Amino acid sequence: MLYIVDSADTSFIKKMMDKYEILGVTTNPSIITKENKEYIPLLQELDTLLTGKDLHVQLVDETYEGMVAEANKLRKIIKTNLHIKIPVSDAGFKAIRRLSNDGFSVTATAICTVNQGIMAAINGAEYLAVYVNRISNSGLDGNSVIKDIKDTLVRLNLTTKVVGASYKSVHQVTESIRNGVDQVTVGKDLFEKLFYSDITDKSIKQFTKDFNENYSEEEGK
């Protein structure tokens, strides 16, 4: 199980890399635009920062021909471990198959159904990004979709990895882990909350309090 930061905020990503062992970064057009920076220079900045870690970059073109051209352009720019994110649209499925055959590592994204995930895997996607919270908002259980996709991949002997995405709570992330997800990609509003517990915080303070009350004067002599 590996953790990925879902952000293009280089300051935040560096902070996370200083404290935690992360696999890499995922981006999409919405995340990129929040940074108010030029698109290609920002990707190059992320590339330099990650120094070989995974970088999942979503294509912005919606046509098959445009996706293929954009992916080839990115491969010339990004020197780190590049994964091309392609939404599971009609054109996207075709692009997934083409780019996978061309040797790209493809992350099929915006997956909201079991059939979308399995077809993307059959078409050659190496990763499947499943939108847990958005599925749940539609009235289904996003983590049940995660489990069904993972179970089907195992049954079909497919090695495609499932990446949980689109989270709004620590509980959702935890449920994905329980359901066998291979990786989770979590935004900066939630990422550090994964590793925090109020119980832990209170325990540490109690340890310090107990020690200071009993030994601080003696240790200072």
Question: Of 68, 60, 108, nearest to 86 (Cα)?
Answer: 108
Q: Dihedrals φ, ψ of 217, to 5°?
A: -70, -40
Q: Quick one: tokens of 88?
A: 């599971």
Contact 188, 7 (CB under 8 A): yes
Q: Quick one: tokens of 46?
A: 């992320």
Burial class for 31, CB neighbours closer than 10 Å (0-12, 13-18, 19+): middle
Quickly list DSSP for 173-215: HHHHHHTT-SEEEEETTTGGGGG--HHHHHHHHHHHHHHHHHH
Q: Which residues are bridge partners to 115 per DSSP?
A: none
| Catalytic annotation present for 85 | yes
Question: Of 78, 77, 73, nearest to 60 (Cα)?
Answer: 73
The single residue of 53, 85, 147, 161 carrying the catalytic annotation is 85
Gap between the Cα atoms of 70 and 65, Å rounded: 9
CA atoms within 13 A on the CB side of 219: 6
Q: Give catalytic residues, as residue numbers.
A: 85
